[in-house]
């Protein structure tokens, strides 16, 4: 009976030879890591070589722009301190900027810059010359999507900066 038990255990449990164990955990990790690196490199190279994906800077001369950041913050604060602020609205005709009635329209000077984050080719500027207390930018100049608006203006020698983001549908 002992022989039958020992024969059954020997026949049912086959011990593989030392070279045929399969992939150990260390080799599996190295293979997984190599596949992951290959995927990432493929993704990076395909995005960098495809002209559909544009990776331009928002501002061409970033460091010069950054050096004037303190001045920009002062102009933004000037605009926020106004008791009545200009209002930028998106309507069916385009973009309308309404200046407070306390401002004399002919004394308002500056530029209205439209930045397209997805493609700088569509960026443009409009001089601020309101008719009455409003300034209109026709919708035909604006593509569908997101636009960043920087309104740099001055009134009676004081400089202001108003920033806004709009979505054209």
Q: State the CATH number of the domain containing residue 82.
A: 2.60.40.10
32 and 80, same domain (yes or no): no
105 and 151, same domain (yes or no): yes
70 and 17, same domain (yes or no): no
75 and 158, same domain (yes or no): yes
Q: Which residues touch 55 (CB under 8 Å, ≥6 apart)?
A: 48
pTM higher than the cut 0.85: no
Residue 71 lies in a domain: yes
Query: What pLDDT does residue 60 have?
Result: 64
45 and 66, same domain (yes or no): no
**What is the chain's pLDDT, residue by residue, as a tens digit (169 residues)?**
555 555 555 555 555 555 556 788 999 999 999 999 999 999 988 888 877 666 665 566 666 666 778 888 989 999 899 999 889 888 888 888 888 888 888 888 899 999 888 888 888 898 988 777 888 888 888 888 889 999 999 988 899 999 999 988 8
68 and 143, same domain (yes or no): yes
14 and 84, same domain (yes or no): no
The CA-to-CA distance between both ends of the chain, in Å, stands at 87
78 and 158, same domain (yes or no): yes
Give me the domain span that covers residue 121.
62-168
99 and 45, same domain (yes or no): no
Residue 56 lies in a domain: no
11 and 70, same domain (yes or no): no
3-state SS record for 84-108: CCCEEEEECCEEEEECCCCCCHHHE
Residue 43 lies in a domain: yes
Residue 161 lies in a domain: yes
Residue 144 lies in a domain: yes
Residue 57 lies in a domain: no
Q: Tell which phi-psi region holds residue 22, choosing left (phi > 0), alpha (psi between -120 and 50) or beta.
A: left
Measured between alpha carbons, how far is 144 from 169 in angstroms, rounded to an integer? 5
Residue 55 lies in a domain: no
71 and 26, same domain (yes or no): no
Q: Domains in the chain: how many in total?
A: 2
Query: What pLDDT does residue 57 have?
Result: 57
Spatial CA neighbour of 99 closest among 88, 91, 90, 110: 88
Residue 89 lies in a domain: yes
24 and 96, same domain (yes or no): no
């Amino acid at each position: 009976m002992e022989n039958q038990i020992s024969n059954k255990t020997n026949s049912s449990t086959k011990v593989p030879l030392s070279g045929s164990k399969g992939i150990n955990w260390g080799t599996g990790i190295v293979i997984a890591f190599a596949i992951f690196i290959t995927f990432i490199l493929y993704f990076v190279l395909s995005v960098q070589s495809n002209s559909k994906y544009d990776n331009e800077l928002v501002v061409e001369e970033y460091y010069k722009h950054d050096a004037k950041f303190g001045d920009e913050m002062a102009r933004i604060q000037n605009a926020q301190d106004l008791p009545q602020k200009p209002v930028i609205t998106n309507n069916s005709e385009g973009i309308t900027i309404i200046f407070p009635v306390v401002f004399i329209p002919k004394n308002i000077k500056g530029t209205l810059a439209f930045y397209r984050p997805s493609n700088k080719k569509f960026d443009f500027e409009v001089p601020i010359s309101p008719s009455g207390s409003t300034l209109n930018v026709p919708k035909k100049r604006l593509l569908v999507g997101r636009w960043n608006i920087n309104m740099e203006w001055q009134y009676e020698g004081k400089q202001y900066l108003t920033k806004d983001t709009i979505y054209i549908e």
